[in-house]
Amino acid sequence: MTPISSPHPARLSRREALLFEAGIKLGGVFHQYLGMPVAPGTAASVARTIERAVALQPYVVDVRVRLDPSRGGPVGRGRFGYRYLVPEMLDVVVRLRDGPEEVEGRLRHRPDLRYPLMSVVRAGRAPPPRPTGAKGRRRR
């Protein structure tokens, strides 16, 4: 099904490999989108586009991006009245799955740490699939 059984020279459990993958996704979001012009009227669509981009990457089953331009400090006036995407605006939750294992990671600026913290919110067995079809949809 997939071209290779494991890409890792190291021996890793599925859970461990997923944790590595979760880091890749969050590290990538942080470094890809900083600097994009953004305004209240475009923030939601930028968030959707980031979600769709992350959703293409291996193991991702769900991703939710919130983008709050008002957290970007004072805004310019007139033709300078928009902002550039800064870490403070971002709140990203990504969920990855491999077989029964699931990992959920989050990127969120923490004012108390003065730092855009990436953390693992949850790591464990995925909940059993519901009897009906509605499962694993990507929230939009």
Report 95-134 residues binding its own copies (CB under 8 A). 103-105, 113-124
Cβ 23 vs Cβ 118: under 8 Å: yes
Nearest distance from residue 69's CB to its own copies, in Å?
11
Nearest distance from residue 37's CB to its own copies, in Å?
4
Residue 10 or 134 with smaller CB distance to its own copies = 10
Nearest distance from residue 133's CB to its own copies, in Å?
21
Neighbours of 119 (CB within 10 A): 12
Residue 52 or 135 with smaller CB distance to its own copies = 52
Nearest distance from residue 129's CB to its own copies, in Å?
20
Q: Of the candidates 19, 61, 71, 138, which one interacts with its own copies according to CB under 8 A? A: 19
Encoded one letter per residue, x for contact with its own copies by CB under 8 A and - for no contact, window 21-40 reads xxxxxxxxxxxx-xxxxxx-
Residue 35 or 131 with smaller CB distance to its own copies = 35
